[in-house]
Amino acid sequence: MEPNEQQGRSSSSTAGGTFRCREARQVPKCFRSVECPYQKVQTAQGSYGAINYSLVGPAFGELVVCLHGLNGSRVLFHDTAEVLSRHGGFQVLSFDLYGHGLSNAPYVDMCLGKGCKSCGEFFCCGRPRGRYDLDFFVEQVDDLLSLLGFGDVSLNLVGFSLGGSIAIAFAQKYPQRVLRLVPMSPAGFLPKIPVSYYLLKAVWCCLIPLAPHVICTCWYKKQRFMKSMRNDGHMDAEALEGLWARFVWQLYVKRGVASATLAICHRIPWFSLKGMVQDVGKHRRPVLLVWGEKDSLNPSKTVAKEVLNCFSNAQLMLVPGAGHIAICDRPRQVVFGLLAFLKLPIATQMGEVDLSSVPPAFRHLQASTSTSTSSASATMAAGATAGAASATATGSAGVRSSASQGEASGTSAGAAGSRPPADCGGAIGAASESQRHAASAAQMPVPMILGLGGQEIAAACPDEGPRIPLPSEDDPPASSRGPEPPRTSPAKMVPGHNFAL
C-alpha cells in the first residue's frame, strides 16, 4: 500500500516497516490532496523504523553500497545501480537514510550527552530516538546489511556529500569490511562557517523540537510558491509542481523531517572531518575521489586537494564543467569511471592507473548512450514513461537478485506521478536550464542554517538520479557501429601520494 493512501493514520505501513505520518485531520486542508512524491521499493524494519531500499544485481556479485546526500534519496543512484549491475556484475544496494525519502524519521535524541539511555534513546514512552550524527547513520548501514544477510560480507562504498562522509566513517569503524571507497565531494570540509550555524549551535534545544510547529503554511501555498519560483523564468510549470509537492509532503504529511534535518545540521561535523579522513586514509585500500571542477560548495582547487592529501592510495577524478553534484552534471563520465575503478584489483596502486578515459571494454556502451540521447530525452518528459523505460532496462538486464524481485515492474527513476526529474534531465549530458534552476531552488528552509544554498541541502537532483540509457541486447556490436562519437572533455585524474605506510 502506498504511503499516500495511509494519511489517515499516525504511521504509514509498508511491507516490513513503518514511518511516521500525520493523520489526515492534522494535515492542513490545502495540502491534503498532495500524494507521496517518492517511489516505494523494498522495505526493511530497522532499529529505528522502516528503511526503504533497492537491491539489484546478481546474487553472488561483489556488493556495492550507495549513500545519498542530505535531503536526497536512494533514487540518486538508480541508473548507476543498473549500469554497475548489468555491465559490471555487481550487486548494488541503495537506500534512504533515516529522515529521508520513505525511510522513517525517528524522534530526535535531545540528550546533551552521547549514549545516555535514560534521557536519550528511550526518553519518551519507550520511543527509539536517533541522534542523527555520523555514528547513527553508520549504525543504520550496518543494521540494514545485517538484515539483508550481508553482515560479514566485504563491500565497496560509494557516497555523495553527506553520504561520502558516512562511507568514510563506516570505513573507520569497520576497516576490514571495506574493499574500495568512492567519496563524491564528501561533507566535512566546508571552507566557511556561516553566522546562522552558530545560532543553531546556541539554541538547537529549542529549534529542533519546535521546527514542525513554526513552518508557516503560507510559505508553501501552491499558487504563491509557483508564482515566486516562476518569476525567474527558468523553470517550467511541471517541474515546479513536482518541487512543490515534495516540499509539502515532507514538511506537512511525513512526520519528523524538519526536526531530523536540523539535527543533522547540528550534529554532523560539516567543517572538521579532516582528522577522521586522515585516519581512514592510512589504509591502503584503493580510493577514488569524484569532484566537479566547478563545485562552489567544496571548491576543487582547495578542498579537493586537501581531501586527496588525506589518503595514502587515492586518485582524484576532476570532472570538467560539473558542479557539486557531478554524477548528475556529467553522469556518463562519472559512472563509467566508477565502473572502471570498481573493476580494479584491491591491491591496485592508484598512482599507476588512469581512469580519465572510458575503458575499451565499455566504449560500446558510451557509443550507444550517445546515439540514444534524443529518444531518452523524450522518455524523461514524463515520470510514467520514465518508469516504463526503467522497467525495460532492468528486464533486459536479467541480473536482478531475488531480494529485489518484489520491485514494481514500472519502477520510476523519479517520484511517483507524472512529474519530470527536477535536475538530471536529458539522457547523459548536462541538465537543462529549467531543471538546473529547479535544483538550486529546491531547498528546505531549515538547513539554510548552514548557509549552503541550493547545492548541498535539498537539491532536487539527489532525488532524481541521472538518466543513463542502457544499450539493449539487440544493439549491434561495437565493431559495426563505426567510429566512436565525439566525447566531452575527459575527466582530469590527479594521483595521490601513494606512499607506503
pLDDT tens digits, 93-151: 999 999 999 999 999 998 876 655 555 444 445 578 999 999 999 999 999 999 999 99
- Burial class of residue 356 (count of CB atoms within 10 Å of its CB; 0-12, 13-18, 19+): middle
Q: What confidence tier does 22 reach under pLDDT thresholds 50, 70, 90? A: confident
The separation between CA 129 and the C-alpha centre of its own chain, rounded to angstroms, equals: 23
19 or 208: which leads in pLDDT: 208
Q: What is the pLDDT of residue 185?
A: 96
93 - beta bridge partners?
Answer: 55, 65
51 phi and psi, to 5 degrees?
A: -125, 120
108 - beta bridge partners?
Answer: 130
| Three-class SS state of 49 | strand
Alpha carbons 267 and 200: distance in angstroms, whole number: 10
Q: Within 13 A of 100's CA, how many CA atoms are on the CB side?
A: 29
Sorted by sequence, the CB contacts under 8 Å of residue 100 that are 6+ apart come out as 68, 71, 72, 73
Say whether pLDDT at 252 is over 90.
no
Phi-psi region of 157 (alpha: psi -120 to 50; beta: other; left: phi over 0): beta
Q: What confidence tier does 212 reach under pLDDT thresholds 50, 70, 90? A: confident
Query: Which helix (DSSP H) or strand (DSSP E) does residue 108 occupy?
Result: strand 107-108
Which of 275, 256, 253 is CA-nearest to residue 264? 256
484 or 130: which leads in pLDDT: 130
Q: What is the pLDDT of residue 215?
A: 76
Say whether pLDDT at 181 is over 90.
yes
350 or 33: which leads in pLDDT: 350
User: Is-contact 103 138, C-beta < 8 A?
Assistant: no
User: Is-contact 74 68, C-beta < 8 A?
Assistant: yes
Which of 424, 426, 418 is CA-nearest to residue 384? 418
Query: What percent of the chain is modeled with pLDDT above 90?
Result: 43
340 phi and psi, to 5 degrees?
A: -65, -40
Place of cell 562519472: 334
Q: What confidence tier does 363 reach under pLDDT thresholds 50, 70, 90? A: low
pTM over 0.85: no
Give the pLDDT mean for 324-328: 93
Assigned C-alpha cell, 27: 494535515
Say whether pLDDT at 484 is over 50.
no
Q: What confidence tier does 496 reach under pLDDT thresholds 50, 70, 90? A: low
Give the pLDDT mean for 253-282: 93
- 246-255, 381-390, 400-409, 421-430 — which one is most confidently predicted on average? 246-255
| Three-class SS state of 364 | helix
Query: Which helix (DSSP H) or strand (DSSP E) does residue 365 occupy?
Result: helix 363-371
Q: How far apart are the first and last CA of the chain?
A: 53
